[in-house]
Structure 1
Amino acid sequence: MVARAELPDGARAMIDAAVAIGDDTKVATVIELARATWPGDSAEIDAIESQWKVELAQRKSAKAAHEAEAVRQAGFFALWSGEGEFGGFKSSGNTDTAGISASLKLERKGLDWAHLVKARVDYQRQDGTTSREQFLASYEPRWQFGKNVFAYGLAQYERNRLQGFDGRYAVSGGLGYKVIDRDGLSLAVKAGPAWRVTQFTDGSSESSLAGLAALDFDWQVLDRLKLTQDTNVVAETGGEAVLIVDGSNTTLNLVTGLDFEVSDRLRARMAYQIDYDSNPPAGKVSTDTLTRATLIYGF
C-alpha cells in the first residue's frame, strides 16, 4: 500500500479493517468517512483510494479470467440451471374449464454459446373425457458473436387438439439483438425464416415456409416483483417458398407473467397467455386464452 505516515493510526486501522472484510461498498464508505473526518489528510487518503482501486481491478480481472477458464473447460452437461413450474389454469375461448399446468426450463450459459430447453403441458379432464391436452417442447441454441448481436436456432413441437392439430413442427434460424441489457431490465428481439409442418386432427397435413419474430422482455419492478413478456409471431406463406408478403396463416403466442419472489428459489407466478391462429380449421375459433397461477422452483 501507499505510505500513510500523516494519517492517524485509528484511520489507517479503520481502512485496513474494511479492506480485510472484502466488501467493496464498505471500503468506499469508510474512505469517504475518513476524508470527511480528516480533511487535512485528503491527499494521502486519495492515494490510498487509488491504490485500493488498482488492487480491486486486478482482483476482479483475475476472478473473471478464472471463471472464464472454468466455463471453457466445463463439459456439456455442466453449467446447467433450471426451474420447474406447477399450478392451475382457467381457460376461455373454445373451452371454459380449469385444469393443471406444468413446465420445465433448462438453460446453459457459456462464454459465447447458450442453450435453452423448454417443455410445457396443460391438461384437463372433465366428465371423464379430456377437454384440454396441450403440449409444447422447444430447443434453442444461441451464439453471441457481438456485444448485443446473436444468432439463434430453434426446433419446436406443439400439440393442441383443441385448436385442431395433432402436431405442429417448426425449425427456424436467424438473428437477434439485445436492445436493453442491464440489471433489472432486459429486452431482446429476434427474427428469421422458419419451416413449419402441421398435422391436423382430420388426418390432413401441410408444410410451409414462414417468418418468425419474437420478443423477450423482463423488468424487475420491485425487489421481489418481476414482469415478464414473451411473444412469438409466425406468418406462413401457404407452402410456397417465396418472400413473405401476403401470408395465408399467422399465429401469435403471447405470454405475460408477474412473478413474486417467495424465497431465493421459490416464486409465485400469475400468467396470461393468448394463442391466436388467423386461419383455424373448420369449427375452431381463432383465439384461445389461458390464465395460470403457478409456483416455480429454481435449481
Structure 2
Amino acid sequence: MRFIPFLFPVTVAFMAVPAQAELPEGARAMIDAAIATGDERKVATVLDLARRTWPAEKREIKAISTEWKSTVAARKAEQAQAEEQAIREAGLFERWSGEAELGAFQSSGNTDSIGVLAALKLDRKGIDWTHAIHLRADYRRQNGSTSREQFLASYEPRWQFDDNVFAYGLAQYQRDRIQGFSARYSVSGGFGYRVVNNDRLELSVKAGPAYRVTDFTDGTSASRLAGLVGLDFDWQMLDRLKLTQDVEALAETGGEATVIFDSANTTVNLVTGLDFRISDRLRSRLSYKIEYDSNPPDGTVGTDTQTRATLIYGF
C-alpha cells in the first residue's frame, strides 16, 4: 500500500528582540562634559548619578567608565615616566622647594625678652634620595646688649631603599652664647621607619649613633659619642589646620622630634605648633618651644621656653 504524504503548512514566528537602549543625548553630553574637566572625583560622581538615573543603560555606562579609567591610568603612567625622567636629568641646583619663615617670639628662662626670628627650609626630593637643608636665626638686642643670639644650620640626606625603611645622615651646627656655648657640631647616621604615611597623618621614627663637639663660651670644649632618637609627626587635623611636633628642631617648619643624648649631657628641644593655611603658599604658625639641657654651663639654667608667632611662605 502506498502512502502519500500530506504537507501541512508550517508557520515560523520570530519574536522581535528589542534593540538595546542608548543613553539620552543630554546624559551623554553631561558625562562628556565631566570627562573633559579631567577631574576624577567629578567624573565618578556623574557616572554614579547616571547609573542611578538610567539603570537600563548600565552596560553602556560601564563601558564609558572602563574606557575612562584606562585613559586615566595611561595618562598617570605617562606623567610618572616623564617626572622620573625629569628627576634623573635635573642638575644639582634644580628641583628644590622650600619655605621661608619670619616672625616674633617671647622667651623665658635664661632671658625674659621679646625678639624676632627668621628661618629657611629647603628640600629636594628625588627617586630614592631626599635632601633637607634648614637654617634658623633668633636674635634680640636690648639696651645696647645682646639678650638672645641663637643660630642653627643642618643638612639631612635620606635614602628610601624600601617603601617604609630609610637610611639617614645628619650634620648640624648650633650657636647659642646665651645658653653657654659658642658652637656645637653634631653628626649622626642611622635608620628610620615610616609608621604611617597618608594624606592626613605622617609618622616616622629614626635612630642612630651620633658624635658631638661643643665649644663653650668659657674657652673649654668637649667631644663625646652620643645617640640620636627622632620622631617625625604631622597631623592634618582640618583642611586648613595642621598640628606639628618638633624636638631638636631639625625641621623647624615640619613635624619632627629628635633627642640627642650622652652620658654627660642630654639635650631635648620640643616644639609644638599649630599651622593655619591662609592660601596655597602662605601659612601662619603659633608654636611653643622648650629647650632642655641636662647639664648646662655654670651660670645658666637648663630650661628655656619660647612662644612664637610666625608667617610661613612656601615656594
TM-score, normalised by the number of residues in structure 2: 0.88
SS of 2:299's equivalent in the other structure is coil
Rounded to whole Å, the distance in 2 between the matches of 1:8 and 1:269 is 53
Does structure 1 residue 217 correspond to structure 2 residue 233? yes
Separation in 1 of the partners of 2:128 and 2:21? 49
Contact 1:214-1:230 at 8 Å conserved across structures: no
SS of alignment partner, residue 263 of structure 1: coil
Structure 2 residue 21 is matched with structure 1 residue 8: no
Q: Which has the larger radius of gyration?
A: 2
What secondary structure, in the 3-state scheme, does the structure 1 residue paired with 2:237 have?
strand
Report the counterpart of residue 234 of structure 1 in structure 2.
260
Residues 120-166 of structure 1: CA deviation (Å, up to 9, x unaligned): 11111111111111111101111111101111111000011111111
| Mapped pair 1:297 → 2:313 | yes
Work out which of the residue numbers 199, 203, 211 in structure 1 matches 2:219. Answer: 203
C-alpha distance after superposition, 1:196-238 (max 9, x if no partner): 00001110001000000111111111111111111221111xx
Greater displacement, 49-58 / 197-206: 49-58
2:26 is equivalent to residue 42 of structure 1: no
Q: Deviation of residue 11 (structure 1)?
A: 2.5
Task: Say which of 131, 148, 157 aligns to 1:115.
Answer: 131
* Residue 46 of structure 2, aligned match among 20, 27, 30: 30
Match of 2:145? 129
Aligned equivalents of 1:220 and 1:179: distance in 2?
16
Query: For residue 233 of structure 1, what is the amino acid of its counterpart?
Result: V
Q: Which runs of 5+ in 2 are unaligned?
A: 1-19, 248-257
From 113, 134, 157, give the equivalent of 1:97: 113
AA in 1 matched with 2:267? T
Structure 1 residue matching 2:178: 3-state secondary structure = helix
Find the partner of 1:17 among 9, 33, 53: 33
- 1:181 paired with 2:197, answer yes
Equivalent AA in structure 2 for residue 87 of structure 1: G
Q: In the aligned structure 2, how far is the partner of 1:141 from the partner of 1:160? A: 25
SS of the aligned residue for 1:163 comes to coil
Question: What letter is aligned with 2:190?
Answer: G
SS of 1:279's equivalent in the other structure is coil
CA–CA distance in structure 2, aligned partners of residues 56 and 180 of structure 1:
27
Structure 1 residue aligned with 2:95, among 79, 90, 97? Answer: 79
Q: Give the C-alpha shift of residue 5 in structure 1.
A: 6.6
Distance in 2 (CA, whole Å) between partners of 1:229 and 1:219 is 9
Q: Is the 8 Å Cα contact of residues 181 and 217 (structure 2) preserved in structure 1?
A: yes
Q: Which has the higher strand share?
A: 1
CA RMSD across the alignment: 1.3
Q: Which residue of 1 aligns with 2:207?
A: 191
Question: What is the deviation of 1:12?
Answer: 2.4
Supply the distance in 1 between the matched residues of 2:32 and 2:283 (Cα, whole angstroms): 40
The size of the alignment, in residue pairs, is: 286
Stretch of structure 1 that moved more, 50-59 or 127-136: 50-59
SS of residue paired to 2:266: strand
Q: In structure 1, what is the equivalent of residue 86 of structure 2? A: 70
The match for 1:144 is 160
Q: How far does residue 6 in structure 1 lie from its aligned partner after superposition?
A: 2.8
Q: Distance in 1 between matches of 2:160 and 2:264?
A: 33
Partners of 1:250 and 1:105 lie apart in 2 by 26
Letter in 2 for 1:165: F
Could you list the structure 1 runs, at least 4 aligned residues long, displaced by more than 3 angstroms after superposition. Answer: none
Q: What is the rounded CA distance, in whole Å, between the counterparts of 2:260 and 2:42 in structure 1? A: 51
TM-score by length of 1: 0.92
Equivalent position amino acid for 2:142 in 1: Q
Match of 1:244 in 2: none
Identity %: 66
Quote the residue 2:289 is aligned against. 273
Unaligned residue ranges in structure 1 (runs of 5+): 237-246
Q: Distance in 2 between matches of 1:21 and 1:163?
A: 57
1:166 equivalent in structure 2: 182
CA distance in 1, matches of 2:40, 2:282: 29
